[in-house]
Amino acid sequence: MTNTTVIEELKDFQVCDRDLPESICQQYLTADSLAVDTETMGLIYQRDRLCLVQLCDPRGRVTFVRIDKGQTEAPRLKQLLEATNVLKVFHFARFDVAMLRQNLGIEVNPVFCTKIASKLARTYTSSHGLKELVKELERIDLDKSAQSSDWGNVANLSDEQLEYAANDV
């Protein structure tokens, strides 16, 4: 059994170690959909490490789950992401779903990918990144400067990284 505690509460999000606390998992299981994102040490899912999983429900509750180096399971996160009554919304789902499967054995289902939706609906452009999509649809400029920062030191993420992660989910 993994040890899970809410580590810190910063602004509108919570940071958890290794897995979701039962209470947060149960809250998310009542949602009809959930935005999900991951931060990793690279882009090769077979080799690179999963560092952080970000979750946000329609009410705007954001939770980060820090994943330890070598960690291979997160039972409550698995329960949530495999729950068929909650639609999981990703941007570029193919990558995040592969990282979750490879690193934690999670078979995410059901999945909606906003990047694929953008390609189908916005045929007039070749810009389908999250930054461009949010700018066009919501008139919000996302700051992606922390995207390529060092996510490996999950115990000591900077405020900039946490803010980026909260806005990226």
**Rama region for 109: left / alpha / beta (φ>0; ψ in -120 to 50; rest):** beta
Q: Domain 6-113's class? A: alpha beta
pLDDT at 7 (0 to 100): 36
- Per-residue pLDDT band at 90 (split at 50, 70, 90): very high
Residue reference for tokens 């990282």: 99
Over residues 150-163, mean pLDDT: 80
Residue reference for tokens 């996302």: 142
- Per-residue pLDDT band at 146 (split at 50, 70, 90): low
Say yes or no to pLDDT of 133 above 60: yes
pLDDT at 72 (0 to 100): 97
Rounded CA separation 100/153 (Å) = 19
- Provide the β-strand partners of residue 28: none
